Amino acid sequence: MPSPLLPIEILSIYFDKHDNRLNLPDRMAQCTPDMKNAVLKVRDALAAKGIDLFLSDMFRSRDMQLQAHIENAKKGIFSPLPGGSMHEAGRAFDLDLSALLKDNILTLADFWEIAADNKLSPIISEPNKKLSEAWHFDCRGSHGIVRQYYRDGKGGTKMKPYEAMAASAILWIGVQVDRFQNQNAAKIQSALIRLGHELGALDGAIGNKTRDAIAAAGITATAEPDILAALEEKLKQTFPEEF
């Protein structure tokens, strides 16, 4: 069983024909349990200050991500191909910056603190509302460990740290990531890295280093589905909020 996505009821930037504000449409309004918890807490923290959280995007299926890639490329905006976005893992949202910053109650820097308190991460380097993607926040959860692993050079250079994190997160909601020939092997590696083991690159190929890491994790099973099941139990114990 992969980590589940849960439906979430949250207001959006969209309106019906009578000018009533709509919730984020069902196909987008899905996220991991830890992200749902974080988003609702942030919404409530903002509401206490009289500020609305309106979202424009959250979950994207592989097809929706491909569409976003094509549409954004026409506008000169970067949006990754399927397999590289935290939106595809139900671990990212885009918010309405003008509603957030309305009446100057909050600055974007203030919001970054509220986000950080709830383990939500921006993807730009400074809280500048003029920067592209200033509206985007991730709930990285344990997949942030994969990002750090790559930042530390332990995964090599074939994937960027963010890409490796996104791939890990997407795999674990049970969505195919095309760059890996063996999805189960890649999931095993993602789990091992998040549990603190080293095995070189997250590449979907089980070699000696991955086998050593499986042994180091105390797993004696040899069939991939059994190894995966054992690792999932360990992930549930270590990161219960993600299940």
The residue nearest Zn ion at its CB is 136
H-helix or E-strand spanning residue 211: helix 208-216
Instruction: Tell the burial category of 204 from Cβ atoms under 10 Å away from its Cβ (0-12, 13-18, 19+).
Output: buried
Question: Which one among 43, 60, 69, 136 touches Zn ion, defined by CB under 5 A?
Answer: 136
Q: Which residues pair with 92 in a beta bridge?
A: 138
* Window 38-77: contact mask with Zn ion (x via CB under 5 A): ----------------------------------------
CA–CA distances in Å: residue 215 to residues 8, 197, 199, 201, 207: 39, 10, 11, 17, 13
Q: Which amino acid appears at position 73 of this protein?
A: A
DSSP string, 183-209: HHHHHHHHHHHHTT---S---S---HH
Distance of CA 113 to the CA centre of its chain: 19
CB of 55 to Zn ion, least distance (A): 10
Shortest spacing between CB 138 and Zn ion, in angstroms: 8
37, 52, 61, 94: which one contacts Zn ion (CB under 5 A)?
94
Nearest-approach distance from CB 28 to Zn ion, in angstroms: 11
Which of residues 133 and 233 has its CB atom nearest to Zn ion in the complex? 133
- The span of 26-34, 37-45, 135-143, 207-215 binding Zn ion (CB under 5 A) equals 135-143
96 is a contact residue toward Zn ion (CB under 5 A): no
Binding site for Zn ion (CB under 5 A): 94, 136
